[in-house]
Amino acid sequence: MFSAFLALIGLSLFHSVSSEFSPGFPYGSQMVRGVNLGGWLVLEPWITPSIFDNTGNPNIVDEWTFGQYYDRATATTVLQNHWDTWITQDDFANIAAAGLNHVRLPIGYWAFEVGSGEPYIQGQLPYLQNAVQWASQYGLKLIIDLHGAPGSQNGYDNSGHRISYPTWQSNQTNIARTDAIIEQIASMFADQVDVVPIIAPLNEPAGYYGSSVLTPLRQYYYDSYGNIRYPYGTSTQSNTVVLLHDAFQPLSYWSGFETPPDFQGVAMDTHIYQVFSNSDVQMSWQSHIDTACDTQSTLSDFDLWLMVGEWSPAITDCATYLNGRGNGARYDGSYPGSTYVGSCTGLTGSASTFSSSYKTFLRQFWEAQVISYEKSNGWLMWTWKTENADEWSYLAGLQNGWIPWSPTDLEYPTICG
């Protein structure tokens, strides 16, 4: 455990080696521009709805129930085919060709270890190794992001297990299992920082539940620092950056947390969406742009490296299953407790149904966010590709003109004034 380790070696060690930290990318002086490989090694119903629809079972809503309720042999075949085809070497080539320099790869704990009674299907690790190889081949930096932890850290389907209340934080065994997996990931890639410069130890923990989550989470973040920065079992440090999600807290909450000189190579990840509340989806197009521009002052002044690790040009929650399989959308009033704003027709699905004015807006909104998020140390858009929600897809944006083939090729450079 890191706390015991700290006591053992003394804080002076951090001071004495601080100048030696040398990450695999010049964070702070060069901009992170990247994309997420969503829905590949962790299934998400809205990214690949066909995988869930083809089960014929409405109770299959996440990767847990996919393994639990679907015929095991069939489920394994479907997953294997998905892993083989959803993201390939060509995608890495295209990401590099689009002028991006980082890729964030979500992966679940079950790729490394499955406990008794957990229905997950394994087999993801060879694809993680493929991703590292392809990133190296095309000069991309790969962020390995633990997207799902035992017990679920947020209850979202994208944690692997959709449940009403997260249980990761309430069980020390869950946390210890997560620590062990981070140790394993850190050890696997400690000597490949030129390709895997960052490990993110936990995606989107539900800090909005307050101290019941935040207290164990803060300790877990200390432990993760020890596990990621000291992967050799000795006092030798790695050069791997530790990327901490803000747990949906304002950045001010984390002020002074794991900062130099006592800590080196820590970065903060914040996710910015404008679709997951009634007030968000009721905004005008111009208000969406203004809201993005208004993030600049907060993002420009933080005491760690900071990146916007997820964001999107989407302005509605209309994408099928975005709020979970079986749940509707706030925008068209089909989600519980929402009020009709408008029809989803022409705002999600295939870009062939998008009006020219909507595509122009998507370009403006994309640029407003890029300009604003570059007040931090960079950004990674969610997500590279989708089956049928082109407003969320970087690839569809490139193909249909609302995302430029070079992320610095802006048509609206003064959109934020």
pLDDT digits (tens, 9 = 90+) for 242-293: 999 999 999 999 999 999 999 999 999 999 999 999 999 999 999 999 999 9
DSSP 129-162: HHHHHHHHHTT-EEEEEEEE-TT-SS--GGGT--
Rounded Cα gap, residues 191 and 183, in angstroms = 14
Asked about 113 being catalytic, the answer comes back as no
Instruction: For residue 269, give the 3-state DSSP assignment.
Output: strand
Rounded Cα gap, residues 264 and 79, in angstroms = 39
Query: How many CA atoms, within 13 angstroms, populate the side-chain half-sphere of residue 321?
Result: 26
Give tens-digit pLDDT for 40-88: 999 999 999 999 999 999 999 999 999 999 999 999 999 999 999 999 9
Cα–Cα nearest to 274, from 262, 286, 283, 264: 283
Instruction: For residue 367, give the 3-state DSSP assignment.
Output: helix
Residue with more model confidence, 8 or 276: 276
Rounded Cα gap, residues 405 and 95, in angstroms = 9
Question: In the prediction, which pLDDT does 7 show?
Answer: 40
Q: Could you tell me the end-to-end alpha-carbon distance of the chain, in angstroms, rounded to an integer?
A: 49
DSSP 76-115: HHHHHHHHHHSS-HHHHHHHHHTT--EEEEEEEGGGT---
Quick check: 227 pLDDT over 50?
Answer: yes
Pick from 18-22, 339-343, 385-389: least confident: 18-22
Tell me what the mean pLDDT of segment 393-405 comes to: 98
Rounded Cα gap, residues 332 and 366, in angstroms = 23
Rounded Cα gap, residues 261 and 14, in angstroms = 7
Give tens-digit pLDDT for 116-127: 999 999 999 999
Contact 271, 264 (CB under 8 A): no
Number of H helices, E strands in the chain: 14, 8
Query: Could you give the percent of the chain with pLDDT greater than 70?
Result: 95
Query: Residues 258, 310, 367, 374: which is the catalytic one?
Result: 310
Question: In the prediction, which pLDDT does 141 show?
Answer: 99
Rg value, the chain, Cα: 21
Rounded Cα gap, residues 279 and 275, in angstroms = 9
Quick check: 17 pLDDT over 90?
Answer: no
Asked about 411 being catalytic, the answer comes back as no
Query: Residues 63, 183, 204, 258: which is the catalytic one?
Result: 204
pTM of the entire structure? 0.95
Query: Could you give the percent of the chain with pLDDT greater than 90?
Result: 95
Question: In the prediction, which pLDDT does 13 show?
Answer: 46
Quick check: 18 pLDDT over 50?
Answer: no
Query: How many CA atoms, within 13 angstroms, populate the side-chain half-sphere of residue 275?
Result: 22
